[in-house]
Amino acid sequence: KAGVTQTPRYLIKTRGQQVTLSCSPISGHRSVSWYQQTPGQGLQFLFEYFSETQRNKGNFPGRFSGRQFSNSRSEMNVSTLELGDSALYLCASSLDPGYGEAFFGQGTRLTVV
């Protein structure tokens, strides 16, 4: 069974640009959540999607958004990039929101210059 796939693995963007990251969950998993990992703040929850609906959102500005498609694949978008958005963005897949076990992709390393 294939794991969680995130694309791209690496991205370099300029301040003010926008970026879209993609996540394909494990087959059969319907819940996708996103996390930002930085050395200073650790792993922080961004948002969670289930059945194409955002169910929870972390404490991030509105520049961070996402969506989920009918096949459970998810994308997250960051607009008007800032230097502080440089981070490893991780996607996690689980069967459904109430199921504890979450499996992570390899992440997308975003560098904003």
Partner 1 sequence: GQQLNQSPQSMFIQEGEDVSMNCTSSSIFNTWLWYKQDPGEGPVLLIALYKAGELTSNGRLTAQFGITRKDSFLNISASIPSDVGIYFCAGHPGTASKLTFGTGTRLQVTL
Site for partner 1, rule CB under 8 A: 4, 6, 31-33, 35, 41-45, 48, 50, 55-56, 58-59, 88, 90, 92, 94, 96-107, 109
| Residue 84 three-state SS | helix
Our CB check for partner 1 shows the closer of 16 and 61 to be: 61
Task: Enter the tokens of residue 96.
Answer: 């459904």
Residue whose CB is less far from partner 1, 17 or 51: 51
Q: Quick one: 19 or 29, whose CB is closer to partner 1?
A: 29
Do the beta carbons of residue 22 and residue 73 sit within 8 Å?
Answer: yes
Query: Tokens at residue 44, please?
Result: 């922080």
Least distance to partner 1, CB of residue 67, Å: 16
Element (H, E) at 32: strand 31-38
